[in-house]
Amino acid sequence: MHLPPDWMLGAVQRFGGAPAAFGLALLLFGWRRLVRFRLPAHLNRPALLTHIGLLVLMLALRPVYARVAAAHSLADPPLFWLATLWTALIPLLVLTLLLVFVPWHTLLSLARSLGLAWLYALGVTLAISLLRMMGTLAWTTSSDGFVGWVQQACFEQTRALLRHFYTTVVSNPEKHLLGTERFQIQVSWLCSGVEGLVLVALLIPLWVVFFRRELNVRRAQLVAPVALLLTWFANIVRLAILIAIGDHGHPLLADIGFHAQAGWVSLNLITLGCLLLVQRHPWFRQDGVPEAGRRVSEAVNYPVVYLLPFTLILGTSLITQALSAGFEAFYVVRLVVALAALWILRSHYLQMDWRFSSLSILAGVAVGVIWLAIRLKFKVVTPGVLITTNALTVMSRPLRLAWIATRVAAATITVPIAEELAFRGFAARRVMRVDFEHQPYRGMNWVSLLVSSVAFGAMHGRMWPAGAVTGALFWWLAKSKNRIGDAVAAHAVANALIAVVAVHLHDYSLW
């Protein structure tokens, strides 16, 4: 038996998303009150030491729990109280981490000022939890109801599209098998594009509500149905191309590369394209409100300056992974496009403060060590990692060294710069004011901490808790030094340490 206990894992799987939903809803309903609060310039050292002590205690309990669990059941008092203590440490860790950045009296004052926002957020959380339970039941009930109709509609429309290009189309409507004589896929509800439709249906309305003071809401909301239609038909085309790739003798490329990434490529292009249209076209904006990030008297589009490198890296990664069969042979393209963006906009970047202190170096080492400890302890070897390892093994030495050098260069140079520009330079300040480039880093509030850190953590998949905490640390460095250079330096040092260990151990799952 392992820590955490099985019953706790079950609870996390059922209700793990509730705190995130509650926090986002509270942020939405209490926005005007939250932005008034300012964080202190220095960390609360007693709270930090308490947090570290609780973390050490939690790690120390694991081997003790394992020894007791080997001889007892969960119903026995020793094991029950150990599990209870371990569980109680989780909210204490969250609370002490919050107190590191926000004083206790500020928390109490903030809680009182939110008023009915607490009730509204609780109602939204309960509604989302109920819908999630209903949806879980719907997904598992064969092909009945609305979900079955969506799945069947996707199946039929993909089959109709394939018949325009193939004389023989193999299909089994009962098992939802579809393809050609040489390659077939199962069009499950996941492949029907339901996830993409839900994301679009949530993201675009939330974006419109978030920027309601700048946008003409009645006009901007018209983009949502257009985006939903584009997402639906893009998924039909994706499935048809997937089958075509497999039929032409590339099943691994179809299953591992294109299947995993093509949906995200199209979803991101559609969503970002629609949001860019809303933000840039004057028809969607309120009268007298200029384009976000651009004043009438200025010609610089600052969102492009801060977001272009990260956007190009993200978009390129989706494409290069979609064109791979597990091993991303074209990883060098990521590095090239990022360097090109940095070079093109170099005049703007040279005006920023890239200096850094020794504190950022120490913070980067600490992040790297903690990140490696977590990855090595809870490492999961995926098929993609095995494919990468095998591909590098059979590759000639010069090509192998070139690929590794490219990966290290991107991790230590372009990625830290691009991500810090996007998350600390743009996101953390954009939530505070439209002309974010005039917002000093030292004046960032705790809302900017929450938004930028959660977004940064979400980008790291299953490592999102560690990613969010890491993002919070980089945010604090930028705030305390009032410059982006310290955050970039810490990020680069952490990535460099991880890269060195990954190459030394030949363990590319650490990356």
In this prediction, residue 295 carries a pLDDT of 44
Same domain, 378 and 511: yes
* Distance of alpha carbon 357 from alpha carbon 480, whole angstroms: 11
Tell me, yes or no, whether 180 and 269 share the same domain: yes
The structure tokens listed for 420 are 């810090």
Domain finish residue from 132, 153, 170: 132
Range of 117-126, 145-154, 498-507 with top mean pLDDT: 498-507
Q: How many CB atoms are closer than 10 A to CB 56?
A: 10
- pLDDT per position as a tens digit, 197-249: 877 887 788 778 777 778 888 888 889 899 999 999 998 998 999 899 888 88
**Is residue 312 domain-resident?**
no
Quickly list H helices, 301-396: 302-322, 332-344, 346-349, 358-377, 383-394
* Residue 387 located in a structural domain: yes
Structural domain boundaries, residue 409:
327-511
Look at residue 195 and tell me if it is in a domain: yes
Whether residue 152 sits in one domain with residue 115 = no
In this structure, are 264 and 117 located in the same domain? no
**Which positions ≥6 away from 458 have C-beta within 8 Å?**
464, 467, 468
Asked, for residue 306, whether it belongs to a domain, the answer is no
- Same-domain status, 42 and 154: no
Q: Which of 69-78, 219-228, 412-421, 469-478 bottoms out in mean pLDDT, i.e. has the lowest?
A: 69-78
In a 3-state reduction of DSSP, which class is residue 170?
strand
| pLDDT of the residue at 169 | 92
What pLDDT does residue 18 have? 66
Question: Residue 380 above 70 pLDDT?
Answer: no
Q: List the beta strands (DSSP E) in 176-238.
A: 177-179, 184-186
Q: How far is CA 412 from the centre of its chain?
A: 20
What's the pLDDT score for residue 20? 63
Q: Of residues 506 and 354, which shows the higher confidence score?
A: 354
* Measured CA distances, 192 to 196, 197, 251, 483 (Å): 9, 10, 20, 45
Query: Is 321 domain-assigned?
Result: no
Phi-psi region of 482 (alpha: psi -120 to 50; beta: other; left: phi over 0): left
**How does pLDDT run across 443-460, given as a tens digit for each residue?**
888 788 888 888 898 788
As given in the structure block, the two tokens for residue 84 are: 């209870």
Looking at the fold, whether 353 and 485 belong to one and the same domain comes out as yes
* Mean pLDDT of the 491-509 span: 89
In total, how many domains does the chain have? 3
Residue 68 has pLDDT above 70, yes or no: no
C-alpha dist (Å) from residue 61 to 3, 84, 305: 9, 11, 47
Asked if residue 108 and residue 35 are part of one domain, the reply reads yes
Least confident span in 42-56, 115-129, 362-376, 420-434: 115-129
SS3 readout for 415-432: HHHHHHHHHHHHHHHHCC
Q: 314 or 472: which carries more pLDDT confidence?
A: 472
Asked if residue 107 lies in contact with residue 98, where contact means CB atoms within 8 angstroms, the answer is yes
pLDDT band, residue 13 (cuts 50/70/90):
very low
Whether residue 167 sits in one domain with residue 20 = no
Residues 83/65, Cβ–Cβ less than 8 Å: yes
Residue where a domain terminates, one of 132, 165, 181: 132
Contact present, 338 and 309 (Cβ < 8 Å): yes
* Domain presence at residue 249: yes
Query: Is a pLDDT exceeding 80 seen at residue 41?
Result: no
Hey, what are 389's tokens? 């390892």
In contact, 91 and 80? CB cutoff 8 Å: no
DSSP for 246-273 reads: HHTT-HHIIIIIIHHHHHHHHHHHHHHH
Tell me, yes or no, whether 277 and 403 share the same domain: no
- Residue 165: strand, helix, or coil: coil
Residue 30 and residue 37: Cα distance in Å, rounded? 12
Domain end, chosen from 235, 260, 289, is at: 289
List all residues 6 or more positions away from 332 whose beta carbon is below 8 Å from its beta carbon.
403, 406
Q: 75-84, 155-164, 476-485 — which is least confidently predicted?
A: 75-84
Asked if 269 and 351 sit in the same domain, the reply is no
Asked if residue 504 is part of any domain, the answer here is: yes
Give dist(CA 456, CA 488) in Å, integer.
14
Do 217 and 355 belong to one domain?
Answer: no
Q: In b/e form, how buried is each residue of 11-35, taking b as 16+ CB within 10 angstroms?
A: eeeeeeeeeebbebbbbbbbeeebe
Query: Do the domain assignments include residue 497?
Result: yes
Residues 471, 466: Cα–Cα separation, whole Å: 9
Residues 354 and 413 in one domain: yes
Does the pLDDT of residue 462 top 80, yes or no?
no
CA distance 197 to 224: 10
The mean of the pLDDT values for the chain is 79
Quick one: pLDDT at residue 349? 95
